[in-house]
Structure formats: structure tokens, C-alpha cells
């Protein structure tokens, strides 16, 4: 049953916190949605958050809604994983609840619930356009860190669904960095050939989504503690150059991995998407 848990007036529009049952995860899932003033239908931007986050992090910290209201953008921020009693978890912050990695798990104990790829591309789509005045044909996707990985991989695999894509400090090559190696092995098993469908660099190398986007915008802070061990955006620009995909990578001097960084450049990303939607 779809539930509206909170409603707030925001920059002339409406911000709602919602919960609904998901067939993909077998759990209730939460998301926030900002709808600007007017009847719609509105272009829709989905923002995928990073490790340890819920739908609340972007909603409270990103500072996106004033510009979204000006641009007439609807913004959706889902949770990062299934949660609840009976849902597998891990003591570490980078696996389990809060760390869904936007894949469909095939391995125990994760497979029954950790199907975030299907949740974002199917279940969230269904409830969103049944309940809100969004335009299904004008959608973009963005995200941060683990969510940036999700945005890139979901967009490349679903260019019929998303017309624009951007990311903040994304994990671009999870097959080759500690965060991704741990998560993909746990969720998908040890056969690394199965990881390629969830690795943005591998997708480009395999020709998936090639030429689907006129540009991909990535912002990365130069003072990000995770830049070298986990993120390595140069790997994506190299893969994109070889695939003929334009990427605008902006290295922002002195910025870290936090929402202070995200909120600083959020308006640029919203304008980027609005121009393409």
C-alpha cells in the first residue's frame, strides 16, 4: 500500500516522503519526491545516494529544491537498499543495509531482497508515475559515490529510460577498487565476468550505451579522501574516450566527498539535466 508519510511546502512546490511495497526487494521502500508548482507533467531527475545513506541525506542536505522549482524539475531520491527484519545485513558500513550498490544480487544471503537495479528501473518507475505528475519520457539520473556508480551504470544500460546522466565523485570502476570488489563479490559471486554489467568502465568497453548521451557531467573534489583508492574518475574518461562518449570531468580544487561539495555544484547539475529534458 502506497503511503505518504510527510508533506512539506517547499519553494512553492511540494516535498513528500513516501513508502510503498516493492516486489523487487520484497520490502517496503522509502523515497522523497519534490514536485514543483503547477499541473505538470514535469521532467524527472532521480538522485541515487551513496554508502550509509537513506533517502533523507539528499533530501535534507543537497539544497536542490530552490533551483529545481525555478527549472520546473521533479526530483526523486530513493533509499539505497532494502531494510527491515529478515533483511540480510553486515557489520561493515560498505555491505548490506545502506549499501545496495544498485545491482540485483544472485548470492545468498542477499538475493531475496538486494535487487536495487530492478527496484530503481521498474518498481520505483511504476509507483512514481502512478502517483505523481512526472513525464516518463523525460527522465535523467544522477548520484553520489556508490550512487554515482548506480547513475552511470543504470543510464548506460537503460538509455531508453534516461535521457541525461551526471555524477558526483562516482565509483566508476567497481571491479578494480576495494569497495566494489567487496560488494560485487558478495552480491554477484566470484565470477568477475558477471560484474561487468555493473561496472561503468566495462559497459563502455563492451559497447553498452555507446553514443546514447551527448555528454556526461562528473564533478570530483581534489581533496576527496577516496579519490585514489576508490574512485579514480580518470579510468572512466579513458574508457569513454576509447568508446567515443563525451564526458565533462571537472576536478574541483579543495573539495571533499561530503554534501558541502555536492550542494556547491548541485545547481550546475540541475541545469545540465534541465537542458536535456
Model confidence pLDDT, tens digit, residues 25-61: 999 999 999 999 999 999 999 999 999 999 999 999 9
Task: Identify the DSSP state of 123.
Answer: I
Taking a C-beta distance cutoff of 8 angstroms, is the pair 152, 170 a contact?
Answer: yes
What does the mean pLDDT of the chain come to? 97
Q: Alpha helix locations (H) across 137-250? A: 146-157, 178-188, 200-205, 234-243
Cell numbers for 163, please give them. Answer: 535521457
Q: Is 85 exposed, middle or buried (0-12, 13-18, 19+ CB in 10 A)?
A: exposed
Determine the pLDDT at residue 6.
98
Per-residue confidence (pLDDT) for residue 77, from 0 to 100: 98
Q: How confident is the model at residue 210 (pLDDT cuts 50, 70, 90)?
A: confident
Q: What is the pLDDT of residues 81-131, one digit of tens each?
A: 999 999 999 999 999 999 999 999 999 999 999 999 999 999 999 999 999
Query: Is residue 145 among the annotated active site residues?
Result: yes
Query: Is 211 a residue whose pLDDT tops 90?
Result: no
Q: Which of 200, 124, 122 is nearest to 156 (CA)?
A: 200
Average pLDDT estimate for 171-177: 98
| Annotated catalytic residue within 113, 198, 257, 269 | 257
**Residue 21 neighbours by CB under 8 Å, 6+ apart:** 1, 27, 28, 29
Torsion angle of the four alpha carbons 93, 97, 98, 104, in this order, in degrees rounded to the nearest 10? 120
| Whole-number Å distance between alpha carbons of 21 and 220 | 35
Q: Is 257 a catalytic residue?
A: yes
Which residue among 145, 164, 166, 173 is the active-site one?
145
Amino acid at each position: 500500500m502506497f503511503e505518504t508519510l510527510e508533506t512539506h511546502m517547499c519553494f512553492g512546490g511540494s516535498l513528500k516522503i513516501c513508502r510503498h511495497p516493492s516486489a523487487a526487494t520484497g520490502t517496503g521502500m522509502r523515497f522523497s519526491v519534490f514536485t514543483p508548482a503547477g499541473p505538470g507533467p514535469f521532467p524527472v531527475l532521480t538522485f541515487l545516494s551513496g554508502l550509509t545513506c537513506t533517502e533523507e541525506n539528499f533530501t535534507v542536505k543537497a539544497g536542490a529544491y530552490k533551483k529545481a522549482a525555478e527549472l520546473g524539475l521533479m526530483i526523486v531520491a530513493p533509499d539505497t537498499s532494502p531494510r527491515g527484519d529478515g533483511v540480510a545485513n553486515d557489520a561493515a558500513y560498505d555491505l548490506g543495509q545502506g549499501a545496495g550498490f544498485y545491482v540485483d544480487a544472485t548470492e545468498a544471503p542477499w538475493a531475496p531482497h538486494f535487487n536495487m537495479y530492478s527496484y530503481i528501473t521498474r518498481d520505483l518507475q511504476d509507483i512514481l508515475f502512478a502517483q505523481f505528475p512526472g513525464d516518463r519520457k523525460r527522465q535523467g539520473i544522477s548520484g553520489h559515490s556508490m550512487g554515482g556508480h548506480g547513475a552511470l551504470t543504470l543510464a548506460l544500460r537503460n538509455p531508453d529510460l534516461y535521457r541525461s546522466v551526471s555524477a558526483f565523485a562516482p565509483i566508476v570502476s567497481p571491479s578494480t577498487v576495494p569497495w566494489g570488489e567487496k560488494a560485487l563479490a558478495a552480491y554477484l559471486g566470484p565470477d568477475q565476468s558477471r560484474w561487468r554489467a555493473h561496472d561503468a568502465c566495462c559497459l563502455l568497453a563492451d559497447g553498452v550505451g555507446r553514443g546514447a548521451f551527448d555528454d556526461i557531467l562528473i564533478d570530483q573534489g581534489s581533496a576527496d579522501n577516496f579519490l585514489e583508492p576508490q574512485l579514480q574518475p580518470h579510468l572512466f574518461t579513458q574508457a569513454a574516450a576509447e568508446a567515443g562518449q563525451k564526458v565533462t570531468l571537472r576536478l574541483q580544487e579543495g573539495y571533499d566527498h561530503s554534501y558541502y561539495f555536492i550542494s556547491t555544484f548541485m545547481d550546475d547539475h540541475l541545469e545540465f539535466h534541465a537542458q536535456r529534458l
